[in-house]
């Protein structure tokens, strides 16, 4: 995995949406001035929702903290989350 995610936590965010926090590590051999990731949440059968994470000055070997809101998904659904995926959308 080129961008492993650690210490992921789900909690109630603003307006009763899900807030996700954690850390992303850059294990590539590349430095990124900026990178945008899509964090997708899944329940047992389908995609629940996603949020975008923007990371600046994301050099190789660096770990960055993130915190995002997943709009439109009630925090009451946190127990239904069975997995998540992090996808690099773009990086420069």
Give the C-alpha separation, 72 to 10, whole Å. Answer: 15
The total domain count for the chain is 1
Q: Is the Cβ–Cβ distance between 51 and 75 less than 8 Å?
A: no
Give the C-alpha separation, 24 to 65, whole Å. Answer: 7
In this prediction, residue 62 carries a pLDDT of 97
3-state secondary structure of 80: helix
Which range of residues forms the domain containing residue 52? 5-91
In this prediction, residue 33 carries a pLDDT of 97
What is the 8-class DSSP label of residue 28?
A: S
Share of residues in the chain with pLDDT > 70 (%): 100
Mean pLDDT (the chain) is 96
CATH number of the domain where residue 31 is located: 2.60.40
* Beta bridge partner(s), residue 90: 36
Indicate the pTM of the whole model. Answer: 0.92
Per-residue pLDDT of 38-78, as tens digits, reads 999 999 999 999 999 999 999 999 999 999 999 999 999 99
pLDDT, mean of residues 20-30: 97
């Amino acid at each position: 995995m080129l961008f492993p995610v650690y210490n992921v936590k789900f909690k109630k965010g603003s307006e009763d949406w899900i807030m996700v926090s954690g850390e992303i590590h850059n294990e590539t051999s590349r430095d990124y001035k900026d990178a945008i990731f899509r964090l997708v949440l899944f329940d047992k059968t389908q995609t629940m929702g996603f949020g975008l994470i923007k990371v600046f000055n994301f050099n190789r070997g660096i770990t960055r903290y993130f915190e995002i809101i997943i709009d439109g998904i009630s925090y009451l659904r946190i127990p239904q989350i069975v997995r998540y995926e992090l996808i690099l959308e773009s990086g420069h």
